């Protein structure tokens, strides 16, 4: 697992103030990666605590299979070993859990007890393609959850393996990768893009406000022809500002 943290805790807090789409808009201006990779666009996620706002943290990965009772006997000490893994690195951390029961949902790996333990070990949330339960209690513990659905029981929830590459919602996630998530989904922030991300995201947000949004909101009293002309001019200004800053046009 890569434990080289490029960003300071202050920088992480600043990134947490923005929603995930805003960070994506900044990221696409600075990255050499394909803009269709690294975020939830293949499968739908659901944020069960949208009132908690965005979360940001480093991936701690685990594979689970609540529908299989054999895992608890194959390694009776798995829970202790898994928790030692969670405690081994500083936070903030996001537990990314791949559910091998997929596409079925048999039981929830998450609930009040697991949430409270993980929070005291430095975790701020989870992303799982399985289920969660005890929403009020998880919220009270300070653990945010993006998941497939809700579930009543835990079934045979048990850590199967951890600190390994997992696949959730169509995305490959490696231990230690930086993740930003909110009600829109999540994105994995490549190591090489982290240092520039905050500046790029703030710039592109201001660029939108100064050009296209300003033109759209100032249309009162204009004819439709004048409005369209104003938007075309704003579109040109938006792209020019992005090109001057990053050497590439923005989404418009």
Residues 166 and 202 occupy one common structural domain: no
Q: What is the CATH number of the domain that holds 83?
A: 3.50.30.40
User: Are 184 and 100 contained in the same domain?
Assistant: yes
pTM: 0.93
Q: At what angle do helices 194-210 and 224-246 cross, to 10 degrees?
A: 160
Q: Is residue 252 in some structural domain?
A: no
Residues 242 and 216 in one domain: yes
What is the C-alpha to C-alpha distance for residues 90 and 211, in angstroms, rounded to an integer?
A: 41
Reported as a pLDDT band with limits 50, 70 and 90, residue 250 is: confident
CA-nearest of 66, 94, 84 to 160 is 66
The CA-based angle 101-106-110, given to 5 degrees, is: 95
Instruction: Name the band, by pLDDT with cuts 50, 70 and 90, for residue 4.
Output: low
Number of structural domains the chain divides into: 2
Query: What is the DSSP track for 161-230?
Result: EESS-EEETTEEE-TT-EEEEETTEEEEE-GGGHHHHHHHHHHHHHHHHHTHHHHHHT-TT--HHHHHHH
Confidence of residue 135 (pLDDT cuts 50, 70, 90): very high
- Tell me how far apart the alpha carbons of residues 37 and 22 are, in angstroms, rounded to a whole number: 16
Domain boundary (189, 205, 220) is at 189
| Dihedral (CA of 56, 14, 189, 86) sign | negative
84 and 121, same domain (yes or no): yes
Residue 4 lies in a domain: no
Range of the domain at 179: 9-189
Average pLDDT, the chain: 95
Please state the φ and ψ torsions of residue 188, each to the nearest 5 degrees: -95, 125
Could you report the per-residue pLDDT of 76-112, keeping only the tens digit for each? 999 999 999 999 999 999 999 999 999 999 999 999 9
Q: Are residues 185 and 89 in the same domain?
A: yes
CA atoms lying within 13 Å on the CB side of residue 201: 20
201 and 148 together in one domain? no
- Is residue 171 included in any domain, yes or no? yes
Same domain? 143 vs 169:
yes
> Is the same domain home to 130 and 216?
no
Percent of the chain with pLDDT over 70: 98
Residue whose C-alpha is closest to residue 81's, from 155, 160, 165: 160
**185 and 210 belong to one structural domain:** no
């Amino acid at each position: 697992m890569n434990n080289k943290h490029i960003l300071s805790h202050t920088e992480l807090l600043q990134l947490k103030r923005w929603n995930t789409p805003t960070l994506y808009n900044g990221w696409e201006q600075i990255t050499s990666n394909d803009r269709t990779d690294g975020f939830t666009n293949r499968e739908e996620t659901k944020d069960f605590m949208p009132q908690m706002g965005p979360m940001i943290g480093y991936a701690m990965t685990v594979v689970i299979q609540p529908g299989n009772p054999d895992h608890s006997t194959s390694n009776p000490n798995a829970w202790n070993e898994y928790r030692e893994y969670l405690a081994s690195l500083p936070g903030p951390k996001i537990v990314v859990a791949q559910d091998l029961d997929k596409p079925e949902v048999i039981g929830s790996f998450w609930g009040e007890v697991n949430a409270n333990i993980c929070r005291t070990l430095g975790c701020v949330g989870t992303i799982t393609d399985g289920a969660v339960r005890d929403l009020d209690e998880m919220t009270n513990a300070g653990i945010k959850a993006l998941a497939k659905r809700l579930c009543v029981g835990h079934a045979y929830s048990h850590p199967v393996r951890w600190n390994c590459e997992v696949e959730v919602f169509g995305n490959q996630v490696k231990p230690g990768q930086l993740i930003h998530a909110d009600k829109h989904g999540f994105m994995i922030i490549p190591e090489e893009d982290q240092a520039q991300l905050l500046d790029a995201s703030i710039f592109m947000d201001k660029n939108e406000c100064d050009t296209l949004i300003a033109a759209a909101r100032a249309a009162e009293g204009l004819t439709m022809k004048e409005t369209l002309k104003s938007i075309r001019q704003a579109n040109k200004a938006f792209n020019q500002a992005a090109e001057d800053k990053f050497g590439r046009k923005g989404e418009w």
